[in-house]
Amino acid sequence: MFIHRHKVQFYETDLMGIVHHSNYLRFYEEARVAWAHAHGLLDYQKPGSASHFAVYETQVKHMKPTFFGDDLEIEVQARCEGNRLVFQYRLHGRGNEVCSVAKTVHVPPGVGFKTTKIPGRYESHCE
């Protein structure tokens, strides 16, 4: 399991200091990119890099709010399912409470945006 940390910034909140729901996908994207960097899978110039996967599906469940100044911990787990790279996330807020969970599914687009096979180097990083 990979853990990414994020400190909630003022601009990510509403007038009550609560994180706006639209930012959670941004937090999960930030964690996924950090995961790819940590595993040596991210090269913006190279086809087949983690930056060249298309988002196929997103799901976010909000259970508790997070607030301006909170130190968030985002757990990231990845698995390969055929030609899909599936990420599951668990976001911990104050008191280490689980505040949100999510899943994103990514596919490698090929010629004409038809899905291709996941490059082999990713399989060793999938759980």
Question: Are 6 and 12 within 8 A, CB to CB?
Answer: no
Question: Are 70 and 38 within 8 A, CB to CB?
Answer: no
Q: Is 14 a catalytic residue?
A: yes
- Please provide residue 38's backbone torsions phi and psi, each rounded to the nearest 5 degrees: -60, -30
Q: Which residues contact 98 (CB under 8 A, 6 or more apart)?
A: 63, 64, 90, 91, 92
Sign of CA dihedral 9, 12, 18, 22: negative
Which is the catalytic residue, given 14, 43, 70, 71? 14
Which residues form the catalytic set? Answer: 14
